[in-house]
Structure 1
Amino acid sequence: MLTIHVADEVRHGTETVKDGAVAVDGSRIAAVGLPEELLERFPGARVRTWPGVLGPGRVHEGPLPDAPSPRERVHAVLKSGATAVLREYVDSPELRAAAARNEVLVLASAQAPAITVHGRADLAVFDGTGACLATVCAGRLVHRRR
């Protein structure tokens, strides 16, 4: 299903689009621009509106947070706005499986995340205090703060 994520700001590469939007088709980014343009281009898309700044998902660069289970450790990373972790910290078969089930990228080294058309739809929305409001990993909404 195609979803258009609308936010107060969208950080796309070196650009910031005020009142911008990102269209997500499956696990990929279909387009970035103004909401009106994307709604015209993709009629019938589901629209999610977020108060805050939408940008690329982060890379969690340290050990995964402590939690009772591997699934909860991965979920804690997603709640922070991260959609990727470093391989050196995903050091057990259980953690690797939990990351794979949630489509969290496991990277050999940190890479600068970016929103690119046709790229993987890894997005995060942050409020003015820096708190994560929502995380989209491979096109799926995997965390939403209420």
Structure 2
Amino acid sequence: MLTIHADSRGRAFAVRGEWIEAVGSPERLAAAYPRARVREWPGILTSGFVNLHGNELLEEAYHPDPREADTLGTEPLTGDVLAALTLDSARWGASARRGVQRMLAHGTVAAACEPLRNRAVRDAVRRTGLGIVGRLGRPGGVPSLDPCASGLPLDLPPEREAGSAARFAVFDVRDAAELAERGSGTCVATVVAGRLVFRRR
């Protein structure tokens, strides 16, 4: 089934399966595809983020289960706190899945990683559909689920066009400048491989 994703700034993507079939105004795409399902979002459609700290956030941090919040809190655990935890493969895999979900909630569609060494993390990430791009060495900056808070230039994939992979995000802001100022917590939806994988309630 074809779905039209339309923002409030006059831009829309027609998505069929894992691909963007057409890009244009909501009105033009609705006329071209009258039987399509239409999803209207506040803000701007973007290509989403590449989070440059994939290794640091997925296999060098533990994302507590909500049931652990009373003892471990809700923020990713690193350093000495992480070293004090006893984590088997099942807990590492579950942590990676939660980490990916938190990335998706910030409009991240891909993570930059050196090869993931932890097999449980690698398998969990692969199953989520999050894109992985290679990197050489540490990127600097501060690892953050919010790419806007890392202190590094924002890394956005190429602009989406007809024939592009259906991998994008929507942020409830007026433009890219407001997105950089307010951060990726303004994400209202993330689409990966044509699937809506995050939607702000």
Output the TM-score relative to the length of structure 1.
Answer: 0.85
Corresponding residue for residue 195 of structure 2: 140
- Residue segments in structure 1 that go unaligned for 5+ positions in a row: 10-18
| Contiguous gaps of at least 5 residues in structure 2 | 65-94, 137-154, 174-181
Aligned residue for 1:6? Answer: 6
Instruction: Give the structure with the larger helix fraction.
Output: 2
Overall identity of the aligned pairs, in %: 42
Name the one with the larger strand percent: 1
Q: Return the match for 1:121 from 163, 166, 186.
A: 166
More deviation, 22-31/108-117: 108-117
Answer with 47-56 or 107-116: which moved more: 107-116
Q: 1:144 to 1:90 in 2, by over 3 A?
A: farther
1:18-33 equivalent positions in 2, closer than 5 A: 19-33=10-24
Cα displacement (A) at 1:94: 2.0
> Could you give the per-residue CA deviations for residues 25-84 of structure 1, whole angstroms, max 9, x where no partner exists?
111011110111111211211100000111102101112264132210111111110110
Contact preservation (8 Å) 2:49, 2:107: yes
> In the alignment, which of 45, 51, 62 is matched to residue 54 of structure 1?
45
- CA-based RMSD of the aligned residues comes to 1.9
Structure 1 partner of 2:131: 105
Q: Is the 8 A contact 1:60 1:84 kept in 2?
A: yes
1:89: Cα distance to partner? Answer: 7.3
C-alpha distance in structure 2 between counterparts of 1:112 and 1:145, whole Å: 21
Matches of 2:172 and 2:98, distance apart in 1: 23
Shift of 1:3: 0.6
Higher Cα Rg, which structure: 2
Q: C-alpha separation between the residues in 2 aligned to 1:77 and 1:8?
A: 24
State the TM-score, normalizing by the size of structure 2: 0.63
How far apart, in 2, do the equivalents of 1:26 and 1:143 lie?
Answer: 17
Distance 1:21 1:109 in 2: 31
Distance 2:193 2:128 in 1: 9
Offset of residue 109 of structure 1: 3.3
Kept in 2: contact 1:74–1:98 (CA 8 A) = no
Q: How many equivalent residue pairs? A: 137
